[in-house]
Amino acid sequence: MGLPSYQQLQDQVETLKEMVIQLESKVFGAHEHIFPLYFGLTNKESKVLMALYRNNRHLSRDFLLEAAMVDSLGDAPDVKIIDMFIHKMRRKIFDKNLPITIITYRGVGYELSAEGREFLTKVFTEIQEQRNETRMV
């Protein structure tokens, strides 16, 4: 096994930056739901996945772009960046063997599978239970 490529290192740095942001958000309570760090999702990927989770239907790339860029300053990137987010999310989900499937509706958008929604509901329930236990201590 050789050394990682420059692009792989760049991806790792970006992932670490986003993990720090997520951890800070978790510590300071900035978000209602936060995905566990082991998911390895960036902040924007997390926003896309949360939009898919909260909306029980297929969502257009435009809708997902708005969800991903809600806190961003400046001009929004091309809507095709959502395809890149989905591609990277699928790779991370596959690598972690998570039971989440993002369904593509060609020319329409994306949707979270029922199994993925059920899995995420369990994850969020566990997170909430852990927070409640921590508050009791």
Q: Where are the domains of the chain?
A: 6-136
Angstrom distance (rounded) from CA 94 to CA 97: 5
CATH number for region 6-136: 1.10.10.10
Amino acid at 114: A
pLDDT tens per residue across span 75-113: 667 888 999 999 999 999 999 999 999 999 998 999 999
Query: Are residues 62 and 45 in contact, defined by beta-carbon separation less than 8 angstroms?
Result: no
Question: What's the whole-model pTM score?
Answer: 0.71
pLDDT tens per residue across span 20-76: 666 655 554 544 457 887 888 888 899 999 999 999 999 999 999 988 887 666 666
